[in-house]
Amino acid sequence: MVTPLPPVPKVLLRPLLVALIVGWAGLARASHYAVADVPRIITSGQVDKLHKAKVETTEQLFDRAAKAKDRKALAKASGLPAAELLTLARRCDLLRIKGVGSEMVLLFEAAGVKSTADLGAAAPAALTTAIENVNHTAKISEKPPTEPQLADWIAQAKKLPQVVESK
């Protein structure tokens, strides 16, 4: 027989609920995918090696490659070089932005934005111009983001904790 927990006093419910919501929202794990579902940013060879290391999603990849010591362990388990895992971690970092998918990650990279820290430091107008210029040449997206979209993503990036270690 299961003994029910005592009720939480009403005075604690609101602060507890707010803390849970704010804490969960701060993770901003918005656009994560199965690693095999984003072939533009993770190659099939990388997917095979990540699966060998029991990494199935971009969220798991981010969690296991963001910190240098974890990335080293993942490199050993997967056979992927740590430098390659750092690039993948940065790509997954950008996927934490709500509304950003693999195509936008490639546009950001081509425009010189490699992480959420880079994105948070960008000016919307300048980034719009850079993306339009690079997309004109590289033809990455049929529908590049608008300046208001970029402004929203920049604002989101500024709120995210920076967890990718560059070492």
Structural domain that includes position 131: 35-159
Using one digit for the tens of pLDDT, what is the confidence trace for 37-77? 999 999 999 999 999 999 999 999 999 999 999 999 999 99
* 87 lies in some domain: yes
Give the per-residue pLDDT at 18.
43
Domain assignment present for 28: no
What pLDDT was estimated at residue 167? 75
Q: How many domains are there within the chain?
A: 1
Provide the pLDDT confidence category of residue 4 given band limits of 50, 70 and 90: low
In a domain, 15, yes or no: no
Q: What average pLDDT does this structure show over 96-112?
A: 95
Domain-embedded: residue 150:
yes
Domain membership flag for residue 17: no
The per-residue pLDDT for 11 is 54
* Residue 87 CB neighbours (<10 A): 17
In a domain, 44, yes or no: yes
The answer to the question of residue 76 being in a domain is yes
Residue 57: inside a domain: yes
Q: Given pLDDT bands bounded at 50, 70 and 90, which one contains residue 92?
A: very high
